[in-house]
Amino acid sequence: MQYQGKIYRPWPEANSLLIQTTLGCTHNKCTFCDMFREKRFRIRDIEDIFKDIDEAGSTMHRVESIFLIDGNVLALKTPFLVKILEKITATFPECAKISLYAGLNDLRRKGISNKWFIPQRL
Q: Under the rule (CB under 6 A), what is the footprint of ligand SF4?
A: 25, 27-28, 30, 33, 35-36, 71
Dihedral sign computed on CA atoms, order 112, 114, 120, 122: positive
Minimum CB distance to ligand SF4, residue 5 (Å): 13
User: Which is nearer to ligand SF4, 38 or 86 (by Cβ)?
Assistant: 38
User: What CA–CA distance (Å, rounded) separates 52 from 85?
Assistant: 13
Q: Greatest CA separation found in the chain? A: 41
User: Which is nearer to ligand SF4, 82 or 102 (by Cβ)?
Assistant: 102
**Do the Cβ atoms of 67 and 13 come closer than 8 Å?**
yes
User: Which is nearer to ligand SF4, 35 or 46 (by Cβ)?
Assistant: 35
Minimum CB distance to ligand SF4, residue 29 (Å): 6
